[in-house]
Amino acid sequence: MRRISILILPFILISGLIPISQAQRDREEAQSAKTGAIMGRVIWKGHDLSQVTLQVYKDSSLKELYTTGFLLNKKGEYQMILEPGRYYIAAFVDVDGDGKMGEGDGLGIYGITDWSDPKQDKEPVEIKDGDVITDLDIYITAVLALVDGKLQVVPIQEYEAKPSLQEELERISTGISGRVILEKGELKNGLVFAYTDLSWKNRVGQTKINPDGSFKMNLPPGKYYVLAVLDLNGSNLFDAGDMFGIYGIDDLKSKKATPKPVLIEPRRFTDVQIKIVGRRLEGGGIAAIGEEARKTILEAKSAKVKGKVIWDGRSLERCVVQFYRDPTFTKAIEVVGTAPDGSFTIMLPPGDYYLLAEVDVDGDGKYSAGDGIGAYGSDDITQEQPRPLHVKEGLNPDVRISITGVFTEEGQIVSLNPKAEGKEGESLRSGITGRVIWDGRKPKSALILLSDQPDFQNPAVIPVQLNEDGSYSVDLPQGTYYIMAVIDSDSDGKADDGDGFGIYGTMNPISGKPVPISVFKDRYTPYINIYIRGAFTDDSGNAALIDDANRMNIKAKYGPPDDVFSYSEMGKQIEEWYYWREGIAFKFEQTGLGWALRESEKFTPKNLDKLKVKRDKAHLPFNLLYYSWDGIVWGLSSTGIRHPLGLGSDPTSTTDGSFLVYIDLDGHIRLSSSDNVEGRIILKRSEMAEQPVISPDGDFIAYVKRIGDQRKLFIRFIKTGDEIQVPTSARVISDPSWNLSSELVAFASAGAVESNPSPPGRRKKGSKSEDKIQRDIYCYDMVDNRIDPLVLSPADDAEPAWCPTDPDKLAFSREKDGLRQIWVIRFYRNKPPEEEQLTKYGGEHPVWLPDGTGIIYETNGQIWLVDVRSKISKPIMVDGEPVFGFYPFVR
Within its chain, how far is the Cα of 238 from the centroid?
A: 36
Q: pLDDT at residue 358 above 80?
A: yes
Pairing state of beta strands 399-407 and 303-310?
Answer: parallel
* pLDDT of 780: 96
Q: Which of 546, 528, 431, 520 is nearest to 484 (CA)?
A: 528
**pLDDT for residue 298 is more than 80:** no
pLDDT at 645 over 50: yes
Indicate if the pLDDT at residue 347 is higher than 50: yes
Distances (CA, A) of 382 to 256, 260, 354, 416, 819: 18, 11, 16, 10, 46
Say if residues 875 and 890 touch (Cβ distance below 8 Å): no
Right CATH number for 20-158 from 3.50.50.60, 2.60.40.1120, 2.40.40.20, 3.30.110.40?
A: 2.60.40.1120
Q: How confident is the model at residue 605 (pLDDT cuts 50, 70, 90)?
A: confident
Supply the pLDDT for residue 247.
93
Looking at the predicted structure, is the pLDDT value of residue 824 above 60? yes
Q: Which fold has domain 165-288?
A: Immunoglobulin-like (2.60.40)
- Identify the pLDDT of residue 34: 63
Q: Which pLDDT does position 31 carry in this prediction?
A: 46
Percent of the chain clearing pLDDT 70 (strictly above):
88
Instruction: Please tell me which residue, 266 or 766, carries the higher pLDDT value.
Output: 266
pLDDT of residue 9: 36
Q: Tell me the C-alpha to C-alpha distance, in Å, between residue 127 and each of 23, 83, 290, 491.
A: 18, 7, 87, 73
pLDDT (mean) for 559-584: 90
In this prediction, residue 696 carries a pLDDT of: 96
128-187 pLDDT tens trace: 888 889 889 999 999 988 777 678 899 988 886 666 666 666 777 889 999 999 988 888
Q: Is 144 helix (H, G, I), strand (E, B) or coil?
A: strand
Q: Using one digit for the tens of pLDDT, what is the confidence trace for 207-224? A: 999 988 999 999 988 889
What pLDDT is attached to residue 757?
38
- The closest of 551, 667, 664 to 600, measured between CA atoms, is 551
pLDDT above 60 (res 620): yes
Per-residue DSSP letters for 789-827? EEE--SS-EEEEEE-SS-TTEEEEEEEETTEEEEEEEE-
Max Cα separation, the chain?
114
Q: What is the rounded average pLDDT of the residues 24-40?
A: 63
pLDDT for 1 beyond 50 = no
- The segment with the largest mean pLDDT, out of 55-59, 745-749, 767-771, is 745-749
Rounded distance between C-alpha atoms, residue 796 and residue 786, angstroms:
23
The pLDDT assigned to 515 comes to 95
pLDDT confidence band for 618 (50 / 70 / 90): low
145: left (phi over 0), alpha (psi -120 to 50) or beta: beta
Q: Is the pLDDT of residue 565 over 80?
A: yes
Report residue 398: phi and psi, to 5°.
Answer: -60, 145
Closest Cα to residue 136, out of 20, 37, 33?
37
Rounded to an integer, the average pLDDT of 776-789 is: 94
- Res. 772: pLDDT tops 70: no
The whole-number average pLDDT for the span 511-528 is 92
Mean pLDDT in residue range 677-705: 94
- DSSP code for 158: G
Nearest to 651 by CA among 640, 664, 639, 667: 664
Mean pLDDT of 808-814: 97
Distances (CA, A) of 451 to 172, 218, 219, 504, 726: 13, 18, 20, 12, 42
**pLDDT tens-digit series, residues 66-96:** 888 878 777 889 988 889 999 999 999 988 7
For residues 262 and 226, is the Cβ–Cβ distance under 8 A? yes
Q: Where are the alpha helices (DSSP H) in 188-323?
A: none
Q: pLDDT category, 775, cuts 50, 70, 90?
A: very high
Query: Could you give the CA distance from residue 678 to residue 699 in angstroms, rounded to a whole number?
Result: 20
Residue 685 pLDDT level (bands cut at 50, 70, 90):
very high
The segment with the largest mean pLDDT, out of 153-167, 316-330, 341-355, is 341-355
What are the DSSP E strand ranges found in 418-526? 431-437, 445-451, 460-465, 471-475, 479-487, 500-503, 517-519, 524-525
Pairwise pLDDT comparison (577 vs 678), residue with the higher score:
577
CB 269 within 8 A of CB 173: yes
- The per-residue pLDDT for 32 is 47
Residues forming CATH 2.60.40.1120 domain(s) in the chain:
20-158, 165-288, 303-414
Band (pLDDT 50/70/90 cuts) for residue 13 is very low
CATH number of the structural domain 431-545: 2.60.40
pLDDT at 263 over 80: yes
C-alpha distance from residue 562 to each of 469, 577, 746, 811 (Å): 19, 8, 46, 40
pLDDT at 17: 34
Is residue 493 pLDDT above 80, yes or no?
Answer: no
DSSP per residue, 79-114: EEEE-SEEEEEEEEE-TT-SSS--TT-EEEETT-S-
Element (H, E) at 147: strand 142-147
Instruction: Looking at mean pLDDT, say which of 21-35, 465-479, 490-504 comes out highest.
Output: 465-479
Name the band, by pLDDT with cuts 50, 70 and 90, for residue 423. Answer: very low
Predicted TM-score of the model (pTM): 0.60
Which range is least confidently modeled, 132-136, 516-520, 693-697? Answer: 132-136
Is CATH 3.40.50.80 the right assignment for the domain spanning 624-890?
no
Contacts of 798 (CB under 8 A, 6+ apart): 734, 735, 748, 775, 777, 812, 813, 814
Residue 468: per-residue pLDDT: 86
- Return the CATH number of 303-414, one of 3.20.20.80, 2.60.40.1120, 1.10.101.10, 3.40.50.620: 2.60.40.1120
What pLDDT is stored for residue 617 in this prediction?
A: 55
Is pLDDT above 80 for 255?
A: no
Percentage of the chain lying above the pLDDT 90 cut: 48
pLDDT exceeds 50 at position 867: yes
User: 123: which residues sit within 8 A by CB, 6+ positions away?
Assistant: 88, 110, 111
pLDDT (tens digit per residue) in 224-235: 999 999 988 777
Q: What is the mean pLDDT of residues 842-867?
A: 96
